[in-house]
Structure 1
Amino acid sequence: MPERLFIRLPEDPSCAPETTVPANTLTAFAVPARLRSAVAHVMAYEERFAQGDETVERVLPDGASRLLIVLQRGAATVHVAGARADAVLLAMGGHVHGLSVTLNLGALPALFGLPAKELAGLTVPWEDIVPRAHRHLAEQLAASDDDAARVRHLLASLQALQRPSDPSRHLVEHAARRLSDTGGGLSVRELAAELHIGERRVQQLFAANIGLTPGVWRRLQRLHGTLRLLRTARTARTAASPRWAEMALDAGYYDQSHLINEFRSLCGLTPQQLLQRAVSDSSNTGNGRFT
């Protein structure tokens, strides 16, 4: 079965340039100011496959929690997906339609009153974790005329669920940003010292607000830093293979083997396989290319 890539880093619009999903199947929606503390990104997707055609979509991890809405045969299902650090493989075929809402760090406890660690790696029905008054969301979405109306209903529900954030959320946001800014180059011990708290407290903050350990979050940031390095390497234009040993050191890995093993663990692909798929599919989508 054919396979394609979906990648999105925080600074990307609907998707990353390496993505080989057709760009015209994705629509981004603006997040109102009142919800920007909880919601990072809202996207609708819709695609029709020819009868008998199927593909697998490999979604690379970004460490975020999400709301996932599937629209099918006049009905809607709403799920909340916790953070994870491995690639997700989605079988695609027929008429695929839905919404995806990427949540900010700390949004799960702020919206649902749950520590993020309780949902890590899980996908649970919306109805199982919201008050009774908000359990009719799926019916509202199914009855809406278009995706813009569905997004309005969804964001209104999230706004109604918002509660005051824990003061520690700002601390974990800063901690996560430091690990991202350094491309995972800052150790957890160094991070704790910089924040003037213990390593155990750092672990607790990440568990409550992100759902991943700081060590796993650090690995994801190093992966993302490597993807950014690949974008600037211009390998797609020159058709030359990157100097992986040098890139591994630049990205903060011990050596090339460490780089390859981390890509396999987090993406299910080696960096060379990822690069080849993104470049080889670029002519089909107009989107899958490294810039």
Structure 2
Amino acid sequence: MDEMAGIVRFDHASEHGRWTLWRKRPPASLQPHVIELEGYVETGGAPLVRRELPFSGIPLILVFEHHFSVFGGDGTERVRLGQGFVAGLTDQPTLVGSPGHAFCMQVNFTPLGARRILGLDLHEIAGSVVPADAVLGSAFRGLEDRLAHARDWPQRFAIFEGYLLERLAHNAAPTPLVEAGYAQLVAAGGSLDIGALAAGLEVSRKHLGTLFRREIGMTPKTVARLLRFETALSALRSGRVQSLADLAYACGYADQSHFNGEFRSMSGQSPTALLRDILPDGSLLAPPR
């Protein structure tokens, strides 16, 4: 791992291939809307499939060279993407493959940040993968080309951040009710009764669900599931967990059985199996097909 100008670099070389990942926290002006920016170059030479876990963010991937494929659970290729794309919220793992070579960037938005910067209600892309230019317009292809030919990663990140700030300035803010409800769910790590959340916001649970579905793409209950899963996964990755039963309780699960079932549903593995398979850069390879 190396760090420069606020950019952290991870290099990986193993029997799985060779790749380099750059990660950067966004500037303060973007932090309420953007979780993280990444750059990625893969030169492994052999096809590779990763299991992307569900999370509470919306990724926008810019593809400079080569392509990515989205696979179904049966191992068949469902979508091939040779251009930038956006993935909506999902509560299921997604299998994403590359042909062994990749050159791309990624920005992970908060749901409300995605709604504002992308300029659409997120129910339109929930559970799906769509070409970026279908959302952001044909000029987005020009941005991809400009970024591909930038001199280095600091310049790419600077150009991309400028683009995001411009989008932010021209699109409407989210509904205050959804913004407040989502902030409370995040603060509680998803461990919050939805009926109590709605009552505290002085709206019906049904109305809150309608607003969340439209603007975020999922109901408050499903968003809470994603946030609980993220909280538990982060704790597991920290290496400081002494007991899964204690972790389940701390994250708001009814018991360890409930925790294990939710974890398997959302990741495809038990907590201990998943932790064993995570690579040092945080990626997770799918089993051979």
Deviation at 1:268, TM superposition (A): 0.9
User: Residue in 1 aligned with 2:3?
Assistant: none
Deviation at 1:69, TM superposition (A): 1.2
Deviation at 1:65, TM superposition (A): 1.0
User: Residue in 2 aligned with 1:218?
Assistant: 224
In proportion to residue count, which structure has more helix? 1
Counterparts of 1:93 and 1:38, CA distance in 2: 32
User: Residue in 2 aligned with 1:27?
Assistant: 22
| SS at 2:23 equivalent | strand
| Equivalent in 120, 127, 143 of residue 126 of structure 2 | 120
User: Residue in 2 aligned with 1:265?
Assistant: 265
CA deviations over 1:69-91 (Å, ceiling 9, x no partner): 122169x7221222222222222
Contact 1:14 1:43 in 2 (8 A): no
Equivalence map 1:30-69=2 (5 Å): 30-49=25-44, 51=45, 53-69=46-62
| SS at 1:254 equivalent | coil
The one-letter code of the counterpart of 2:26 is: V
User: Residue in 1 aligned with 2:148?
Assistant: 142
Equivalence map 1:152-231=2 (5 Å): 152-162=158-168, 163-166=170-173, 168=175, 170-231=176-237
**Runs of 5+ unmatched residues, structure 1:** 1-12, 16-20, 236-241
In proportion to residue count, which structure has more strand? 2
| Equivalent in 73, 95, 114 of residue 89 of structure 1 | 95
Counterparts of 2:249 and 2:122, CA distance in 1: 33
The alignment of Structure 1 onto Structure 2 pairs a total of residues equal to: 256
CA RMSD of aligned residues (A): 3.2
User: Residue in 1 aligned with 2:71?
Assistant: none
Contact 2:91 2:226 in 1 (8 A): yes
Deviation at 1:132, TM superposition (A): 5.0
Counterparts of 1:67 and 1:287, CA distance in 2: 18
Between 1:65-74 and 1:212-221, the stretch displaced more is: 65-74
**Change over 3 Å in CA distance of 1:126–1:286 after alignment to 2:** closer
The one-letter code of the counterpart of 1:257 is: S
| SS at 2:84 equivalent | strand
Deviation at 1:174, TM superposition (A): 3.0
Identity percentage of aligned residues: 30
Scaled by the length of structure 1, the TM-score of the pair is: 0.74
Deviation at 1:24, TM superposition (A): 7.6
Deviation at 1:191, TM superposition (A): 0.5
Counterparts of 1:77 and 1:172, CA distance in 2: 32
Between 1:253-262 and 1:23-32, the stretch displaced more is: 23-32
Contact 2:53 2:267 in 1 (8 A): yes
User: Residue in 1 aligned with 2:247?
Assistant: 247
The one-letter code of the counterpart of 2:197 is: L
**Change over 3 Å in CA distance of 1:119–1:245 after alignment to 2:** same
**Change over 3 Å in CA distance of 1:112–1:248 after alignment to 2:** closer
Deviation at 1:41, TM superposition (A): 1.3
User: Residue in 2 aligned with 1:5?
Assistant: none
**Change over 3 Å in CA distance of 1:139–1:93 after alignment to 2:** closer
| SS at 1:276 equivalent | helix
Deviation at 1:95, TM superposition (A): 2.1
The one-letter code of the counterpart of 2:250 is: D
| SS at 1:156 equivalent | helix
Contact 1:68 1:101 in 2 (8 A): yes
Contact 2:25 2:35 in 1 (8 A): no
**Change over 3 Å in CA distance of 1:136–1:55 after alignment to 2:** closer
**Runs of 5+ unmatched residues, structure 2:** 1-7, 11-15, 68-81, 284-289
Counterparts of 1:220 and 1:135, CA distance in 2: 32
| SS at 2:51 equivalent | strand
Deviation at 1:266, TM superposition (A): 0.8
Deviation at 1:271, TM superposition (A): 1.2
CA deviations over 1:224-245 (Å, ceiling 9, x no partner): 232244356636xxxxxx5434
The one-letter code of the counterpart of 1:57 is: R
